[in-house]
A and B are shown apart, each in its own frame.
Chain A
């Protein structure tokens, strides 16, 4: 039994309305690199959160190092030697690297903190890892990639026997990723086990000894990585054969409706130019942090841009606010629907009609009846599952919430729709519905920009692909050219 550093037996976790994990058993050998793969929402995060003490399992048990344990919170998890490197950073931006590393264990000499010693120790540690930034730099001065490395350093600085890494290379360049792989392999040699969660199957195949596939809250397969092929992994992740995953679109590509030239946002994106056509789905691919959302924000008027021109339907305009962009026919479905897409406390009707209240007016004033009718129409058209129109948005499932956001933008009659990670956190069935919706919209003559970090998705759905890396456009591919390898190699090129 001591052969396994971690065993999770028959873990079940329920949330109101959904079973996130069902009878999941997951074990990691001592000193192995174990990959955990699955789609968004498959249950990987939930499982890791249980391991880290953020959630408690409803059923099942955890065995660490041969001993049955209960992990009640993150402090206990840390104490038991479990370290987590998340996708979202938990760093204090206004403090230095050293301060963040030592945040809760600042050593005292003679009753006060010895900053000289801390900074020196921290720098030595960073150097030993091969990181090229200084311990005295403030977090906010570092790039996203460097911040990711700080998160990793944080975990490595404490005595851990098991490290969980969740999409650790999402913000890293090829070189930086290589550094990380070397570190991970070094950890393995030291006998530290690593759970590696990643969408990038090349990394999985390169690093992992064992691979476990999880889907819809259940373990589908767990075996030595060598026994899998790329296709077999994807098939198990998705549950169906790769090819038929994305519905085909059936329409002509028309004239240019949006033309963007040399858009620049200081420190974020530079020299971004592309054209968008009627009836087209233009994919924006790239790593997290490559600047795609920043481009979307600039076009939609949510943030200012310093240089560049935008032409909508041949008319040159300077966009400086969201309501102006909307007026010109541009809409943006944001990355984080809960934060910026919906007011969770309001019902469906309000969330849908807000973009175009003019349409539900009778004699200059809002008509509740007209609102309800409009909402009902969209609810039916998009197949939004809800007991009533007056249901609060917070009570809907992720997929249905996303459909409400779609309804909101359809209601506004914009012709150009930018979708930022439209299927994030949505179950497979709803995803397919959204793909079909996108096609329908394109067939109706709208133009769509689809930002997605899921390679298969953005490749499968787009007529053309624009690839961003490090804030610059590094390539444009048409459908035939867009293979995962081609896209990925562009995405990590800057």
Chain B
């Protein structure tokens, strides 16, 4: 009887950490960073963080769809790189220069999203055909990452180009609040789809248990396909905005994006096993990661060392999630 009480309180602690750990983390990091550099808490800084992380945010939301569905998409990084360089090429193209800035901007946006969607569609098709779950998603999108990365290099033949676009709608994408607006709009749409549509509900079930989903008469293959298509589209969108904001594009543009996206999703409390989580949580995760990384920058931690932090965070978040789940099930084990 005694051990039961101990395990219940242990379980409550774990559950508490999972639910509120996020807010705690934000608060603590903010406090520490503000102490070191008071400017941290300024409006300007907040805006900067949001702006900088809005593209990661969009990519993370796409990743969230893949993860909730029980999969993963490690090709996001290369997709962003490819979209970025393609965007750059189009913008700099002489023919495009004759068109009005607004049309050029819209064209680029469209091409970027479609290109990302195409890559996502290829991923989705393969995974649907092989009844892929987490393991298959990993390997196949990992291989895709390599392929698309090489494609991006082929497109620019290794060059690094500076943007030469005229000011206009395109430049607006990256300025001021606009990236954030993009992120918020996308977030609202995607959360809505998750909660209010057949597709969204099916995605959850697919991630929990492909067998249950199939036996309930859900269109498993289609759901898997569209989840990855949307994920790719998000990455494509992110790629376009990145170019606009940064002013240049290189084949390394998207490096580590998939990693960051995964960290945001995992920290947000979405289980990497699939079947749970939400876009809202992912947005929170993006905020935490944004704060945390910026704080690390302030503390003088180099970007290489930050990799270590990212990796450690993933392990911690997933371990916590696994622990929480196993405790939940043990309590009612038959």
Contacts and interface: CB of A to CB of B under 8 A. Distances in A.
Q: Would A and B touch once assembled, by the CB under 8 A criterion?
A: yes
B195 A339 contact: no
Contact of A341 (B215, B218, B219): B215
Nearest to A327: B217
A323 B332 contact: no
B329 A323 contact: no
Interface stretch (B88-96, B182-190, B206-214, B249-257): B206-214
Given A15-B334, A365-B196, A366-B197, A355 B216 contact: yes
B205 A340 contact: no
B331 interface: yes
A17 B334 CA distance: 9
A389 B303 CA distance: 48
A322 B217 contact: yes
A28 B16 CA distance: 50
Nearest to A16: B332
A350 B205 CA distance: 9
Interface string A365-398: 1100000000000000000000000000011000
A408 to B, nearest CB: 7
B198 A343 contact: no
A302 B212 CA distance: 11
B334 A345 contact: no
B11 interface: no
Contacts of A358: 198
Interface residues of A, number: 33
A369 B164 CA distance: 53
A366 B201 contact: yes
B275 A332 contact: no
Contacts of A228: none
B326 to A, nearest CB: 12
B218 to A, nearest CB: 6
B275 A323 contact: no
Most chain A CB within 10 A, of B215, B276, B332, is at: B215
Contact of A366 (B196, B217, B219, B333): B196
Contacts of A322: 214-218
Nearest to B334: A15
A302 to B, nearest CB: 6
Given A345-B275, A346-B208, A323 B218 contact: yes
A345 B201 contact: no
Contacts of A300: 215
A157 interface: no
Contacts of A354: 201-202, 205, 216, 218
A395 B217 CA distance: 24
A394 B209 CA distance: 14
Contacts of A334: 215
A326 interface: yes
Contact of B215 (A340, A366, A394, A395): A340
A33 interface: no
A357 B215 contact: no
A147 interface: no
Given A354-B201, A394-B332, A343 B215 contact: no
A345 B215 contact: no
Contacts of A423: none
B199 to A, nearest CB: 10
Interface in A325-347: 325-327, 331-332, 334, 339-346
Contact of A343 (B212, B332, B333): B212
B271 to A, nearest CB: 10
A17 B333 CA distance: 10
Interface in A1-56: 15-17
A25 to B, nearest CB: 24
Contact of A340 (B192, B196, B212, B334): B212
A412 interface: yes
Nearest to B218: A323
Given A340-B211, A358-B198, A345 B217 contact: no
Contacts of A357: 198, 201
A170 B201 CA distance: 39
A455 to B, nearest CB: 26
B308 to A, nearest CB: 33
B188 to A, nearest CB: 14
B276 A355 contact: no
Contacts of B202: 354
A328 B276 CA distance: 31
Nearest to A331: B217
Contacts of B195: 366
Contact of A395 (B192, B214, B276, B332): B332
Contacts of B192: 365
A339 B201 contact: no
A304 B163 CA distance: 54
A300 B198 CA distance: 21
Most chain A CB within 10 A, of B201, B208, B276, B334, is at: B334
Nearest to B200: A366
A332 B204 CA distance: 21
Nearest to A371: B201
A350 to B, nearest CB: 8
Given A15-B334, A357-B201, A366-B201, A342 B212 contact: yes
A406 to B, nearest CB: 13
Nearest to A356: B217
A341 B217 CA distance: 11
B215 A16 contact: no
Contacts of B214: 302, 322
Contacts of A340: 209, 211-212, 215
A307 to B, nearest CB: 23
A316 B129 CA distance: 27
Interface in B204-250: 204-205, 208-209, 211-212, 214-219
A17 B332 CA distance: 9
Contacts of A326: 217
B276 A345 contact: yes
Given A346-B208, A394-B329, A355 B217 contact: yes
B210 to A, nearest CB: 10
Contacts of B209: 339-340, 343
Contacts of B211: 339-340
A340 B205 CA distance: 11
A62 B333 CA distance: 24
Interface string A172-195: 000000000000000000000000
Nearest to B199: A357
10 contacts: A327-B217, A331-B217, A343-B205, A343-B209, A346-B208, A355-B217, A357-B201, A365-B197, A366-B198, A395-B332
> Which 6 A-B residue pairings sit nearest by Cβ, starting from the closest?
A326-B217, A365-B196, A343-B208, A340-B211, A322-B217, A323-B217
Interface of B: 192, 195-198, 201-202, 204-205, 208-209, 211-212, 214-219, 275-276, 328-329, 331-334
Given A339-B209, A341-B215, A354-B201, 8 more contacts: A17-B332, A322-B216, A322-B218, A340-B215, A346-B275, A350-B204, A366-B195, A394-B329
Interface of A: 15-17, 300, 302, 321-323, 325-327, 331-332, 334, 339-346, 350, 354-355, 357-358, 365-366, 394-395, 408, 412
